[in-house]
Structure 1
Amino acid sequence: MRSRLRLLRDRSGVSIILVAVSLVMIFAFAVLALDVGTLFVTRSQLQNAADAAALAGAQGMIESLGDSATAVDWAMTLAGENEAFLGVEEGSGNARASVAITEEDVTFPGDGLIRVNTHRTAASGDPLRTIFLGVIDPLSDGFTGVRANATASYFYNCGSSCMRPWSPPDRWFDANDNDLYDPGPGNPDEYYDADATGYRIPDDIGAQVVFKLGNGSQDGFGADWYYAVDFPPVNKGNPISGADQYREWIEGCVDEAMVVEIGDTLRCEPGNMVGPTKQGIDALIALDPGAYWDATAQEVVSSVPGGSPRIIKLALFDPDLGRVDITGGDGV
């Protein structure tokens, strides 16, 4: 009887079981730590590739004057010059491979923006190999996905895309303060510097200007006049006229690749465009109805990520030239 009790109380083998269980858990945590480290490093590598590709794409847009195909090609090329882990291969450690992206991974989410997605996923045929997933689930293939993205902004020093179809005069030195450009013998101090815009930063940030359609006079015009214009510039193609196209140009960016540069000539719309102008502006305001100018912060307050679509770009014309005669009408 006593010998049986001693057998029941004998725990000499328990420590072996605990050690075995502990070793399994230590091994599992070690594998998990290895996989987590690989995931973080791979994510960082993909982020570096995305950052570099987005900057390359932005540079491509600038160098090509808005050719999105060039931007996509530059982004894909530079992404491929970066490497990221494929995961742990048996007997070879962490294998690396170039970061491959496709045209679908390069997008243009807004005016002056280019976005690049990089990845190691099953869908793209290059998922990241892990060890831990295979340990906890022997039926799993042990692969997982990792993604990163980057967005770069760009602008043209001597030109820009996504212009709206209005062209007011650039600012000049108004010597007699009558808001009309009327230089001449009777007003010798009035002038315009064609080498630089008359608007100044920060003095003119937040300045309010009420524009009205110009009357077509070439002898003088006001600082608050504008001309309704067609795109593309006459020196780059055949301008498209008409109320429907004009309204679409007001509502949003119709053609990212269409760039207006210094020295271009824009054809003036022959009609007054009152109706299409109101319709286009109403649609533009509806994209961000709550936006407003904060005079204290000197900025537009908007709930739209990336900036309000109501912030637009206009091509200013040279006051010294005014309206000029072109084939099919007038231009600025």
Structure 2
Amino acid sequence: MYSQFLDQLPKVVADSTKLIILTRILQGYFISDFGVKYDFQWEDIQLVLEDNQKDWSERKVKTYKALQNISYNFIHSDVWLSEFKKWFDQVDELDFGLLKELASSELISEKNNGYTKSFHAITKKFWKLQADENFPKDLFEITKKVIGLENLGNISFAIKLLELFGHSDQAIELECITCEWIHEQMIRNRRSFIGINQLGEIRPVFEDYIEKFELSSEHLPILVDAVFKIFVNGAGSSEDELSVEKANKQQWKELLFIQILQDERFNDINSSYIVKKILERPTASNFKASFRTMITEIYEEKGKESEFYKNYMDYLITRLEN
């Protein structure tokens, strides 16, 4: 699998990248073949303080320390790990496109590989009881450089250490920088952090930020496209759902009376059908109530144009309750 995968990547791939790929493949086979016997699974690939290992079995502690002594690559997770986990769990295919892009991107450039190597070297010092008075300062500086390179579990671990040594201001600063990075990632892809808790202990502030993150309307799909994908194509994303929920009255007015009529994708679908399907969906009751009120107002405003439209819209309004 290793040579087959390398054939899929750009011709010039750093040796450090090849090492990461090999490590991820070895991890996968180890967990698949010996994970039960040695009490080690995917969720155990993370940096864990010894205090947090007190509920572990003796076998798991020994396995963790043995892998850690071989290479810190075996106990930290990243994008590569997330992708290979899909393959070994047989829940999805490897996204070779993503990994090709990753292999040739700045994310694993030699400079950034140096940063991550330094990050793991300093955490290794901590575990080997070699940390000195400069440890908190050095940890803070290198952690700033690996935000976006290391996974949230490892960043959370570094922040926890800073708090342990009484450097709360630096811990807060790293939290803020990390939240800014999360924000950028969520704008690109709202699904970026799905399943993130399976690969490390994440700080509550990061979990809350991810859970409560809402895209502003400027980053959402156009309403007519979102409606098509959800109600016609049946393949809407979470961003499409948000587009429908956050659209204002003017956007719905244009959609119902102009855009659907002009869009060939809706030749067999009418505006009333879209409204009906939205009200039938198992969404939050407060959204349905506000949506029904908004559509009623749109119909009432249209009804003011003439007696014909008043009767027409009054009839459609009565159907909103059915």
Structure with greater strand percent: 1
TM-score w.r.t. the length of structure 2 is 0.20
Higher relative contact order (CA 8 A, sep 6+): 1
TM-score w.r.t. the length of structure 1 is 0.19
Structure with greater helix percent: 2
Larger Cα-atom Rg: 1
